[in-house]
A and B are shown apart, each in its own frame.
Chain A
């Protein structure tokens, strides 16, 4: 069987072809929150729910995910915490998402508190909305330059910081396309790459488990659909369309990466790529590529040949 594809190969590492192509990513607005609770379990439950349905700005309004678990010594109230990141097209689009997600998923979670998780001169209103749940009984405590709101709730007080940091230099859409001839092995390899990326600070992989199986192209034959299946990377359409896949390809999985900085996205792609070439060949991975739109839509281009391990 052949691994040939229309895309030129930049390198062969451990028997895996690295395409001479690039990931095309977009400038985004981003913010970070620290969610704490009485136990690590409840901090994680709250963070998981708050970042749910946050895979893509196209249909979810924001791209959300968990950056890392935080020790009690790192959090403002000395309790177990989780840092979550949120990304949107603009500060104006992030604001309502922040209000709704915090109001419905953090305020409601037992023992939770919500703090700014991104130091930045630019700010987003964090408490606007959730604090008014206090029906006039909410009070503020300003300590130094930070204002904390105390909202009476049935298990005590919900503490929420007044503002969250905002960056407009965030990047959304860094990506790796991992291509193989064994679907189970491909999934294991991609999981290993997601685990490696999770160790990089300031990034999230917002799709389920960090992995996308439904990569998309812009537009559709159907009116009203902004995106549709990336037919060039669908193995079952090979032969029927202008395919990007070789004859031995059974499946393709994608990792999409959003980061607070371009450097963090690049580093994530670098460690993800390394994880794939370290373990992938034995699991049927044949090739790594990246998704782009010809370089005309996104301001950030991450060439795989610049990220080789």
Chain B
């Protein structure tokens, strides 16, 4: 496994845009070129060499060590390879990522995996608001790929999400699945208040809901064929990262009936 390591130096303040530090953008660059990539967001023009101690050679893996919540855009547009973040990630980690793997060993900020179309994003800690959501100016949010967060995630996860899967071992914040058009949000710790506002299609799965809105209809307990297919798929593709298989019977709420109403919230307890 060849690759570069970026170890954060002490002492630099501000926010940093690390969206340029992904394998396909660094391919073919030498150490001097990489060190000169501008990562600062101010007139100071902080470059990668100022911010990081850089070792190794460009390859299919990049490791960031010691990053903080000020480090934005980690893994943006990732098209292949692996990015390991031994630290926290700021906003927009995995933004518009297409393939490959982004492995964040700390926590992530807002807009994690926003506009994701493929690949796997894992977060050991928690994630902020708008996980897998739509980016400003875009029509839809996440349209493929998988996000697995071991901790909690913030509000409005999956806003205008179209396809793909968001899994959290913890809870979601309020309004998960807002304006969602498809895909799956699976919160093993439960859904926050008022999930699925204006949910058109797609599936939210959880053992509990903090507060269900009146625009979701209780359809009762059901033995859904798709449940076993989903469980099998996640077990096959995610292995130990997969959520626990769904039980035979789930309680289905249909909604949001304030809009198309073809979405659903499945309560598994």
Which residues of A come within 8 Å of B, CB atoms?
A: 76-79, 113, 137, 139-144, 148, 150, 156-159
Contact = CB atoms under 8 A, between A and B. Distances in A.
B225 A143 contact: no
A39 B225 CA distance: 14
B203 A141 contact: yes
A159 B262 contact: no
Contact of B232 (A77, A139, A158): A77
A137 B262 contact: yes
A148 B224 contact: no
Given A137-B262, A156-B222, A156-B223, A142 B163 contact: yes
B229 A79 contact: no
7 contacts: A76-B232, A79-B228, A141-B230, A142-B182, A144-B233, A150-B224, A159-B225
B244 to A, nearest CB: 15
Contacts of A76: 229, 232
Contact of A148 (B182, B201, B229): B229
Given A141-B203, A142-B163, A142-B182, A159 B222 contact: no
Interface of B: 163, 182-184, 201, 203, 222-226, 228-230, 232-233, 237, 262
A141 B237 CA distance: 16
Given A139-B262, A141-B184, A156 B224 contact: yes
Nearest to B230: A143
Contacts of A113: 225
A78 B232 contact: yes
A143 B164 CA distance: 7
A157 B226 contact: yes
Nearest to B231: A78
A139 B226 CA distance: 11
A95 B86 CA distance: 53
A113 B229 CA distance: 11
A209 to B, nearest CB: 32
Nearest to A113: B225
Nearest to B163: A142
Contacts of B223: 156
Contacts of B237: 144
B232 A150 contact: no
Contacts of A159: 225-226, 229
Given A113-B225, A139-B262, A159-B225, 16 more contacts: A76-B229, A77-B232, A79-B228, A137-B262, A140-B201, A141-B229, A142-B163, A142-B182, A143-B229, A148-B229, A150-B225, A150-B226, A156-B222, A156-B224, A157-B225, A157-B226
- Most chain B CB within 10 A, of A142, A143, A156, is at A143
A47 B119 CA distance: 37
B226 A140 contact: no
A113 B227 CA distance: 13
A157 B224 contact: yes
Given A139-B201, A140-B182, A156-B222, A77 B228 contact: yes
A143 B203 CA distance: 12
Contacts of B229: 76-77, 141, 143, 148, 159
Contacts of A77: 225, 228-229, 232
Contacts of A150: 224-226
Nearest to B254: A137
Contact of A156 (B163, B183, B225, B233): B225
B230 A78 contact: no
Contacts of B225: 77, 113, 150, 156-159
Nearest to A78: B228
A159 B226 CA distance: 7
Nearest to B233: A143
Contacts of B262: 137, 139
A142 B163 CA distance: 7
Contacts of A140: 182, 201
The 8 nearest A-B residue pairs measured at CB: A159-B225, A143-B233, A77-B228, A78-B228, A77-B229, A142-B163, A157-B225, A139-B262
